[in-house]
């Protein structure tokens, strides 16, 4: 009983916080209840969404839009690394939806029998080379990262952005010795923002979000290392109908526009 | 001898507290892959991280001794304006989130940092992403532990011995090395061990300031964090190793505390 009270209180607090800080944009672009027939039907109450950290910006907006389109619902997010979220879900965390940044982390959840239905890919993300504003080392291609005197940060091969970076570098036949292998994409990006490295391989969405400090350089080999983002409703979530409505909404046109505006690509 | 029977009101929460602190460690032991432990421990990645951790923690402690003992002496024995403020500043890294410490170090010693930019242009030295950077990050976080321990020992030590040495003609330096230091040696040792243990477990400042590169800046705590991404078993093995080292260190520290006056 007490646990439920706490979660209700948390949801309420989060809802207040979200509406308080989102009053500027939320009202203008969001009054299109597309997919209303499917989502409005059973959607009510609090919905808990576990989502990859890279979705933070876009999903916060989508959550607000969803709440506007489905009165009576409140969406609470837990943003973290996909593997940490997958572990939490498999350990019994009460979430309704899981949006992962990589199929591998989704697989740990489906393998454990915690998914309700088949995960659907809703966006994909591609790597770009992030360089400090002005591109002081004149980096134009992936091969430039291997030049002497160029300090590069990559994600560690254990995390999804690192695995993607390895794939891209391999397909380009370029060997880069990074000065550091960061634990997530944001850490790699911040090393560029701080000017400690000359370049890093990060997701396009991250480079776009940091556009005031870094430039993102597209490179053709990134096509060989595309990251798919799957989403699924969870079996043990307390609000499955709400979770299903949210997943449907994420796949709808208005949500997809928010995601592409953030730099994601449609699958 | 006082009564040995503790009142239940104290005993129950005390035991619960003990359980709360020890249970996670038991969990680690319980889930450890004991059968494959020997081969996992000898994996080159693990050994590299362990070696680097031991080396950097030791170097950081040495640096802290050289700088921290005089600073502790200054705080304990010399009256100067603003001493309270200095004491507060010295202990800031204790409560500062280590990641914040790492960011602060980057802003000063980074390639674009206040001092780092000059180091780079004048000497070609860059500290981030180097083993020296790891030592720096660990020393920043661990030094307050040493200073607090040594300052406490100095305050507890009887200053009359120092005065006696001075009246017998010993210079200030001789007094410090021949009277003061031996007097507070147990405190210094305890502080050094605590400092070493803290440096060994440092994570946030290290990964922020020195980055993560196997063999160069990847210490044990960083290796644990990354192992969690792929292989829970490997993470448990690494954690177990760190736990073992920490317990050994803290157990020896306990004796030092008891030995000190």
**Prediction pTM value:** 0.77
Q: What residues of B are in the A interface, CB distance below 8 Å? A: 106-107, 110-112, 128-129, 207-208, 210-214, 217-218, 222, 225-230
* pLDDT number for residue A172: 92
Q: What pLDDT shows up at residue B242? A: 87
Chain B hits for A181, Cβ within 8 Å: 211-214, 218
A12 touches chain B (CB under 8 A): no
* Residue B257, pLDDT score: 53
Q: What pLDDT score was predicted for residue B256?
A: 55
| CA atoms within 13 Å, Cβ hemisphere of A16 | 5
The encoded tokens of residue B256 equal 């030092």
Residue ranges of chain A with per-residue pLDDT less than 50: 1-3, 5-6, 8-40
pLDDT (tens digit per residue) in A117-158: 999 999 999 999 999 999 999 999 999 999 999 999 999 988
What is B107-141 written as a DSSP string? HHHSTTSTTHHHHHHHH----TTSHHHHHHHHHHH
Could you say which residues of chain B have pLDDT below 70?
Answer: 1-3, 254-261
- Pairwise CB contact (< 8 Å): B213 & A181: yes
For chain B, the structural domain boundaries read 42-258
CA distances from B91 to B70, B77, B143 (A): 15, 18, 9
Q: Is A104 on the interface with B (CB under 8 A)?
A: no
Contacts of B230 in chain A (CB under 8 A): 158
Q: How many CB pairs under 8 A join A and B?
A: 56
Instruction: Give φ, ψ of A97 to 5 degrees.
Output: -135, 145
Whole-angstrom Cα distance, residue B130 to residue B217?
A: 6
State residue A16's pLDDT score. 42
The pLDDT score that the predictor gives to residue B237 is: 87
To test the contact with chain B by mutation, choose from A112, A157, A179 the residue with the greatest count of B C-beta atoms within 10 A, namely A179
Number of other residues whose CB lies within 10 A of the CB of residue B167: 8
pLDDT value of position A18: 42
Q: How many CB atoms lie within 10 A of CB A250?
A: 27
The CATH number assigned to the domain with range B42-258 reads 1.10.3720.10
Identify the pLDDT of residue B254. 65
Residues of B whose CB is below 8 A from A81? 229
């Amino acid at each position: 009983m007490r646990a439920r009270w706490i979660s209700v209180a948390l949801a309420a607090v989060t809802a207040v916080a979200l509406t308080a800080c989102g009053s500027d944009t939320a009202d203008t672009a969001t009054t299109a209840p597309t997919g209303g027939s499917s989502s409005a039907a059973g959607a009510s109450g609090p919905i808990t969404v576990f989502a990859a950290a890279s979705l933070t910006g876009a999903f916060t907006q989508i959550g607000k839009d969803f709440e506007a389109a489905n009165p009576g619902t409140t969406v609470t997010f837990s943003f973290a690394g996909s593997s940490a979220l997958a572990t939490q879900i498999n350990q019994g965390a009460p979430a309704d939806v899981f949006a992962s940044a990589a199929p591998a982390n989704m697989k740990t959840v489906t393998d454990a029998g915690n998914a309700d239905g088949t995960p659907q890919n809703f966006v994909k993300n591609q790597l770009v080379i992030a360089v400090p504003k002005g591109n002081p080392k004149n980096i134009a291609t992936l091969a430039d990262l291997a030049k002497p005197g160029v300090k590069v940060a990559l994600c560690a091969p254990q995390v999804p952005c690192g695995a993607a970076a390895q794939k891209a570098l391999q397909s380009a036949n370029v060997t880069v010795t990074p000065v550091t292998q960061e634990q997530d994409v944001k850490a790699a990006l911040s090393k560029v923002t701080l000017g400690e490295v000359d370049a890093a391989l990060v997701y396009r969405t991250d480079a776009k979000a940091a556009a005031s400090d870094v430039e993102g350089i597209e490179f053709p080999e990134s096509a060989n290392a595309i990251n798919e983002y799957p989403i699924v409703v969870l079996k043990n979530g307390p609000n499955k109908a709400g979770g299903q409505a949210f997943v449907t909404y994420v796949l709808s046109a208005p949500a997809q526009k928010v995601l592409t505006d953030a730099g994601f690509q449609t699958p | 001898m006082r009564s040995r029977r503790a009142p239940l009101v104290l005993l129950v929460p005390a035991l619960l507290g003990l359980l709360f602190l020890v249970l996670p460690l038991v969990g680690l032991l319980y889930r450890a892959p004991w059968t494959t432990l020997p081969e996992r421990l000898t994996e080159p990645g693990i050994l590299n991280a362990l070696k680097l951790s031991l080396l950097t923690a030791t170097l950081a402690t040495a640096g802290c001794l050289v700088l921290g003992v005089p600073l502790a002496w200054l705080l304990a024995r010399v009256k100067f304006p603003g001493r309270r403020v200095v004491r507060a500043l010295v202990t800031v890294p204790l409560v500062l989130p280590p990641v914040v410490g790492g960011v602060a170090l980057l802003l000063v010693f980074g390639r674009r940092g206040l001092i780092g930019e000059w180091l780079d242009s004048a000497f070609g030295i860059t500290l981030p992403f180097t083993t020296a950077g790891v030592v720096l990050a660990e020393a920043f976080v661990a030094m307050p532990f040493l200073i607090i321990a040594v300052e406490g020992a100095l305050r507890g030590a009887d200053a009359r011995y120092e005065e006696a040495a001075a009246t017998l003609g010993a210079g200030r330096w001789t007094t410090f090395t021949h009277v003061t230091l031996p007097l507070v040696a147990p405190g210094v040792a305890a502080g050094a061990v605590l400092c070493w243990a803290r440096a060994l477990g440092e994570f946030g400042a290290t990964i922020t300031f020195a980055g993560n590169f196997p063999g160069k800046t990847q210490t044990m705590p960083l290796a644990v964090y990354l192992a969690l991404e792929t292989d829970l078993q490997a993470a448990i093995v690494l954690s177990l190793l760190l736990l073992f080292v920490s317990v050994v260190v803290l157990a020896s520290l306990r004796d030092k505390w008891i030995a000190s006056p």
